[in-house]
Amino acid sequence: MTYERIIQIEFNHCDPAGIVFYPRYFEMVNSVIENFFADVVGRSFAAMHFGASNGVPTVAMEAVFQRPSRLGEKVRFRLRVEKVGGSSVKMWIEGHGDDGLRLKVGMTLAWIDGMKAAPWPAEMRAALERYRETQDA
């Protein structure tokens, strides 16, 4: 099953013309990732950042913007895991509106422990791999 989250476009997301200001998309994408880690991987950002010196910072990002999103619309974000590495994960997040693809963002995140890249904890790696194998089911 593919992880999805619907985000309604609010006034704070938009420029004066009522169209999403592109950096706001990155905030939405981060929200999808943060919820994915809590809901699917089993480790919330709060637990990573406040309970330990861990985290999953973004080390690479690419984005393609297909169509604008406007105030009041709902965008369905879908997250796909492409590859789980030793200490990183490559994922794609697509945002779809009623008229099709709005944006596609590729991201590489790295697991850090004590501010240095480290191997994934076994339970997190297993959850990411399990999701990758079943995301299209």
pLDDT single digits (tens) 20-59: 999 999 999 999 999 999 999 999 999 888 867 899 999 9
Q: Give the CATH superfamily of 3-134.
A: Hotdog Thioesterase (3.10.129.10)
Give me the DSSP letters along 88-114. EEEEEEEEEETTEEEEEEEEEEE-EET
How do the domains of the chain map onto residue ranges?
Answer: 3-134
* Residue ranges in the chain whose pLDDT is less than 50: none
pLDDT for the residue 81: 98
pTM comes to: 0.94
Which run of H or of E encompasses 29? helix 22-36
